[in-house]
Amino acid sequence: MSPSVRHIAEFEDYFIRINPNNPSPQDPFYKDSYMSSNQCRLQGVNYDPYTRFPNCVVPIESQRYFYNFTKIITMKKMLFTKAEVSYSNV
């Protein structure tokens, strides 16, 4: 049986509201995931491999609703993959 994907509006709203430059401590790997998927470096990041990336242009929250839907789906998949890997290593 393969897992199914459900659209959860509350999760999407939460995810869009995350400030990439200052994510919640509950999302410790969010910055790395954001920079990896966007191939850019967030403010204050000075560690490899991101030092060679250009600075991120972070859209305001209202723009993220319209322009980042596909990135949100990608990030969700990355989060679920990391969670599955973490769970399988337990």
In this prediction the pTM is 0.60
Question: Which of the four pLDDT bands, split at 50, 70 and 90, describes residue 37?
Answer: confident
Query: In this structure, which amino acid lies at residue 25?
Result: P
Domain limits for position 78: 9-88
Residue 58 has what DSSP assignment?
P
Closest C-alpha to 35, from 53, 18, 12, 47: 53
Let me know if residue 1 belongs to a domain: no
Let me know if residue 4 belongs to a domain: no
pLDDT in tens, 38-81: 899 999 999 999 999 999 998 877 776 666 566 666 666 777 77
How many structural domains comprise the chain? 1
